[in-house]
Amino acid sequence: LGWIGVITSIVATFKAIAQEDMKRLLAYSSIAQVGYITTAIGVGSSLAIGGALFHALVHTLIKLLLFTTIAGIVLRTGLRSFKDLGRLIYRMPVSFFGVLIGIIGLAGMPPLPGFASKYLIFVSLIDARWMLLLAAMILSSTAAFLYCYRLIYAPFLGHANSPQARTATEAPWQYLVPEVVLMGLLVALGLFPGLGVRLFVDPVLTALGLAPLGSPSWGELTTPYGGYDGVVVMAVFGGAFVVVTSLFFLLRGRMRQAASPYDLSYAGEVPDETTPLHYGAGMGRELRRIPLVAWILGHSTQGLYAGLVRQTQAAAGLLAGLYSGRPQVWILLAVLIFAAALTVQLLAGGI
C-alpha cells in the first residue's frame, strides 16, 4: 500500500507539471497528495495515521482555496490555459495572495501547515525504517515545486498573451470572502499546528485505539525525533518577508524600469507583439529528456476511462430499452422487490 501511494504521487506530480490547463493541474496535484496519504496509511503507525489525517485536513483547505481562486480567474477571463494568461497580479491582487498561500501549503513549505503534515509523514517513514519509500516521496515532493511555481508564475507574473488577461478585474466578493477565510485558517494552522493535533488528529487516533500524538502547547508540533514551534517559525518567516518587502520598496526608485514588456533581448533579437514570451506555456517540456518522466507523460489512463464510458452508455441503453414508459409500474415493482427482500431478511434473522 505504501508503494502504491508513492508511485501514485510521483506519476501524478509529473503529470501535473505537464498540464497546460490550470484546473487539470490542480486535479493531478490532488491525486499526488492523496498518494502521500495512502503511503502514510500503509505505514500504519500512530505517527503515520496522524500525519495522514493532518495532511487530509490541510489538503482539503488548500484545494478549496486554490479551486475557488482559479474559478474566479476563469470567471473574469473565460480562460483556463496558462499560455493565455499573465500579469494578473496587478488586476487580481487578492487572488494572487490566495494562490501564493495555496502553493506554499501545497509544496509543504514552512511556515504553513502543509509543512507540519508532511513532516509527520516523513518522520513516520523514518521511524518505520522505510528509507527507500522516504527517498521516493521526497522526489515527488521536491518535483511538486515545479508545478507550484508554474501555478503562480503563469497567471500572475508571466507576459499577458490575451486581451482578457490585460483587462481582467478582481473576482467578485462571493469568491473573495471564502478565499480570505481559507487563507486565515491556513495561517492559523501554521501558527498553531499543536491545536490541529489536539482538536482533529488525536480524537480520531484515540477512537481507532492508537496512541495520540499529543502536543505540549497549541504552537508546538512534537514527534519522537523532534519538532518545532509554529509561532517561532511564522515569526521568522514573517520578519524576513517584511524586511525583504521593505527593502524592495525603499530601493524601487533606483531600479531601472523597463519601457515595455518587450524591452529585452531574446536570442539576439528584439521581440515584438507577435513573439510568444510566456515561459509558463512551455514549462516542463525539457523533463521529457528523462526516460522515466518521458514514459510517464507518454502514457495515459484516458483509454481506460473511455472504455468505461462506452460500457456505461451501453448498460444505460439496455435499461432504456427495458423501460416501458410507465413509471407507476416501475415504482410498484421496486416497492414489491424491497418488501420481498425485507421479508427474507427478517425471516433469516428470526431463524
In this predicted model, what pLDDT tens digit does every residue of 292-329 receive, in sequence order? 888 888 887 788 888 899 999 998 888 777 766 677 77
User: Which H or E run includes 75?
Assistant: helix 46-77
Q: Which residues pair with 266 in a beta bridge?
A: 269
Domain range annotation of the chain? 2-298, 302-350
| pLDDT 10s digits, 164-206 | 988 899 999 999 999 999 999 999 999 999 999 999 999 999 9
Task: Say what the pLDDT of residue 273 is.
Answer: 66
| Residue 260: DSSP 8-state | S
The dihedral built from the CA positions of residue 97, 101, 107 and 111, taken in this order, carries a sign that is positive
Residue 311 contacts by C-beta under 8 Å, 6 or more apart in sequence?
A: none
Tell me which amino acid residue 149 is.
Answer: Y
**CB-CB neighbours of 133 under 10 Å:** 18
Q: What is the pLDDT of residue 76?
A: 93
Instruction: Tell me what the pLDDT averaged over the chain comes to.
Output: 88
Outline where the chain has alpha helix (H). Answer: 2-17, 22-43, 46-77, 93-106, 113-127, 131-152, 163-167, 173-191, 193-196, 202-207, 230-251, 291-298, 302-322, 327-350
Of 197, 187, 186, which is closest to residue 59 (Cα–Cα)?
Answer: 186
Q: Please give the pLDDT value at position 267.
A: 62
Q: What is the pLDDT of residue 130?
A: 94
pLDDT of residue 252: 76
Handedness of CA 327, 329, 332, 338 (dihedral sign): negative
Residue 37's pLDDT is: 96
pLDDT (0 to 100) of residue 258: 65
Does pTM top 0.95 for this prediction? no
- Low-confidence residues of the chain: pLDDT under 70: 256-269, 272-284, 323-325, 350-351
Alpha carbon distances (Å) from 122 to 14, 44, 107, 142, 348: 20, 13, 14, 13, 50
pLDDT (0 to 100) of residue 116: 94
DSSP string, 94-113: HHHHHHHHHHHHHTT-TTSH
Residue pair 287/293 in contact by the 8 Å Cβ criterion? yes
Listed residue (297, 305, 42, 272) closest to 146, CA to CA: 297
Of residues 192, 187, 214, 189, the one with CA closest to residue 50:
214
Cell of 168: 481582467
59 and 132 in contact (C-beta within 8 Å)? no
- Name the grid cell of 284: 516542463
Omega within 30 of 0 (cis) for the link into 172: no
Helices then strands, each counted (H, E), the chain: 14, 2
Q: For the chain, how are helix, strand and coil distributed in percent, rounded to 5?
A: 75, 5, 25
CA distance 153 to 165: 14
pLDDT at residue 82, rounded to an integer: 87
